[in-house]
Amino acid sequence: MRLDPIEKPKGFITRMAYWGTRRRFGKVMTPMKVVLARMPGSLRFSNAIAKFELHGIRLEPALHYMVGLLASQINGCEFCMDLGRSMAIREHLGMEKFDALPEYRTSPLFSARERAALAYAEEATKNRRVSDATFEELRKHFSEEEIAEITWVNAIENYYNLLNIPLEIGSDGYCSIAQARAA
């Protein structure tokens, strides 16, 4: 990790944020200790994104988390892969599809609808653009509102990846915590 985590932050709001994530996830998130502790003004923005992602996205949860996890896998964000998988565990979604994400194009586990969303997210993550053919396939399976949500989820995941990867923030072990809590 390129910056040391700040274990004891200054400011009441940041300390409350640490407490909240420790309570919810079992430990304070490393990106919070590395980035937000140094930029407490960004806490409101980060909280708004997290709240919207949890309560404002209407896509089915499995697809929501698969889109985000695929982007993180493509980008190699260990923290986000761990957190995404832990969210799937917390939501009791089953891990079979999440484990098969690298083979989504050929695996019989995925529907044509899921493949269209994942192909769109993959192409957007890799190229920052998508072909007309990819978009038309997406349009066959999703409403305009759902397309906007898929695009937003993918963009936010790429944003998180760009916070963690350059700072070499790795996994926090959230999958293990979620599995222990689910048992």
Domain boundaries defined on the chain: 1-56, 61-164
Report the length, in residues, of the chain.
183
Q: What is the rounded distance in angstroms from the CA atom of residue 176 to the CA atom of residue 82?
A: 9
Q: At the fourth CATH level, which superfamily is domain 61-164? A: AhpD-like (1.20.1290.10)
Contacts of 54 (CB under 8 A, 6+ apart): none
Q: What is the pTM of this model?
A: 0.95
Q: pLDDT tens per residue, the chain (183 residues)?
A: 999 999 999 999 999 999 999 999 999 999 999 999 999 999 999 999 999 999 999 999 999 999 999 999 999 999 999 999 999 999 999 999 999 999 999 999 999 999 999 999 999 999 999 999 999 999 999 999 999 999 999 999 999 999 999 999 999 999 999 999 998
